[in-house]
Amino acid sequence: MYTLNRNALINLLIIKSNFMSWSILMNSILTVHSKCRVGFYPRSNLKRFPVPDDKVDWSTEYKQYNPPNYTFPGLHGKPYADPEIGDPNFEPLWNSIDGNISRVSYNGPYQIVNGFPLNPLGRTGICGRGVLGRWGPNHAADPIISRWKRLDNGNMAVGVNNKPILQFIAIKRGDTGEWAIPGGMVDPGEKVSETAIREFKEEALNSLSLADKIQWEKEIDEFFSEGEVIYQGYVDDCRNTDNSWIETIAYNFHDESGLTVGLLKLHAGDDAVGVRWVDITPDLKLYASHTEIVSSVLKLRIKN
Ligand SMILES: *[C@@H]1O[C@H](CO)[C@@H](O)[C@H](O)[C@H]1NC(C)=O
Ligand SMILES: *[C@@H]1O[C@H](CO)[C@@H](O)[C@H](O)[C@H]1NC(C)=O
C-alpha cells in the first residue's frame, strides 16, 4: 500500500498530465456563467456590478454597465503573472501560443476591446485581472482519479439500486474549505516546474526505499498513460472577470481493478491531511464546476 500526501499527489498529477496524449470524450462547453456574477470579488471589498441574465452577453447593449476595475496588488512582478496592459514591454499574442503561455481559448477566438481580452461568456460585473495571473484565459488541468468502492474483503461495495459506487480523489481547498478535484494551473511546454519536482520528491518518495520508489513510479506511470479527456473549456469560477478567466482540461484516470492507484491510502476523513476518496453520489457538492465534471465521469464509467 502506498501513502501519499496532498501536495505530492497534486504535483504528480500535473506532471503526468503533461506527458500524455488524449482522446476527446466530451466537449460540452459551458454557455452561461453565474458563479462569477454574484457578491463580492474574492480577496477584495469590491462588489460586482449587477449583471442581469439578459445583460450577460456582450452583444446586448447595457449602457449603465460600469464595473469596478480590480487587479490584486500581490500579482505585481510575480513570475506567473502578466504585466499590465499598456506596459510598452508587454506585447501579448492574443488567441495564440505566446512563447511559454497559451493564450488560446478552448471556447474559440475571444474579442480584444481597447487592448483588453473579453470574457467569452460575457459580463461578470468586474473588470481588470482580479486575482488571476493572466489576461484572457488562465489554463488549469483537473485530473479525476477514480476507482470502485470496495469492501475490506475486496468485493465491490454497492449502493442504492445495487449499483457499484464510484469514488474519486478529492482535496479540501484551503481557501473555501470545499472538496475539489486536485488540479492546478499549467503552462504549455512546462513539463513540470522546479518547485513541483522538489515537493514531489520530498513528500512522496523520501519515505520509501529505493526499490519501492522505482516500482511505485513505474506503476503510476502506467496508470497515468490511460487518461481520457472529460471536459475542456471555460470554468464558471468566482475569480473570473470581464478580462481574465479560468479554463480547464479535465482528465479521468480510472483504476478498474483497484490494484494500482486504487490502493492509495488517503487517510479517509482526515481533514488535516485534506485528501481523500470521496463517493460520487447524486447529492455531492464540490467547488466551482467540479460537480458537473465529476458527474460526467460517473456517466462514462457506469455506461461502460
Ligand atoms: C483599470 O485600471 C488600470 C490602472 O489604472 C488601467 O490601466 C486600465 O485601463 C483599467 N482597466 C479597464 C478595463 O478600464
Ligand atoms: C520558457 O521557459 C523556459 C524555462 O523556464 C525559459 O528558459 C524560456 O526563456 C521561456 N521562453 C519564453 C519565450 O518565455
CATH of the domain at 88: 3.90.79.10
pLDDT at 127: 97
**Is pLDDT at 35 greater than 60 in this prediction?**
yes
- pLDDT over 70 at 108, yes or no: yes
| pLDDT tens readout for residues 186-212 | 766 433 333 333 443 444 445 566 777
State residue 39 phi and psi, 5-degree precision. Answer: 70, -155
pLDDT at 98: 93
Least confident of 17-26, 101-110, 268-277: 17-26
| Over residues 41-51, mean pLDDT | 94
Instruction: Specify the pairing of strand 69-71 against strand 127-130.
Output: parallel
Residue 140 CA, ligand 2 centroid: distance in Å: 19
What band does 290 get if pLDDT is binned at 50, 70 and 90?
Answer: confident
CA 20 to chain CA mean position, Å:
17
**Residue 36: burial class (beta carbons within 10 Å; 0-12, 13-18, 19+):** buried
CA–centroid distance, 90 to ligand 1, in Å, is 15
pTM metric for this prediction = 0.78
The residue type of 83 is P
Annotate 142-171 with b (16+ C-beta within 10 A) or e (fewer): bbbbbbbbeeeeeeeeeeeeeeebbbbbbb
Which amino acids bring their CB within 6 angstroms of ligand 2?
A: 99-100
Alpha carbon of 100 to ligand 2 centroid (Å): 6
Kindly give the number of the ligand 2 atom that is closest to the alpha carbon of 101.
Answer: 14
Q: What is the mean pLDDT of the chain?
A: 79
More confident call, 43 vs 18: 43
137-179 pLDDT, tens per residue? 998 878 888 999 999 888 999 988 888 999 998 877 777 778 8
pLDDT, residue 265, reads 67
**What domain count does the chain have?**
1
Mean pLDDT throughout 282-303?
Answer: 82
Which residues constitute the domain of residue 147? 3-301
Specify the pLDDT at position 92. 96
Residue nearest to atom 7 of ligand 2 (CA): 100
Q: How far is the CA of 66 from the centre of ligand 1 (A)?
A: 12
Distances (CA, A) of 163 to 158, 159, 230, 259: 5, 5, 22, 21
pLDDT at 78: 87
State the distance from the centre of ligand 1 to the C-alpha of 69, rounded, in angstroms.
6
Using alpha carbons, select from 108, 111, 92 the residue that is nearest to residue 100. 92
Cβ < 6 Å from ligand 1: which residues?
Answer: 69, 86, 116, 127-128
Q: What is the mean pLDDT of residues 89-97?
A: 95
Return phi, psi of residue 69, to 5°. -110, 120
Collect all residues with Cβ–Cβ distance below 8 Å to 34 and sequence separation of at least 6: 236
173-179: long-range contacts, CB 8 A cutoff, minimum separation 24: 173/287, 174/274, 175/42, 176/287, 178/285, 178/286, 178/287, 179/278, 179/286, 179/287
Q: Please give the pLDDT value at position 187.
A: 65
Instruction: Tell me the pLDDT tens digit for each residue of 210-243.
Output: 777 777 777 776 776 777 888 888 988 899 999 9
How does residue 25 score in pLDDT terms, banded at 50, 70 and 90?
A: very low
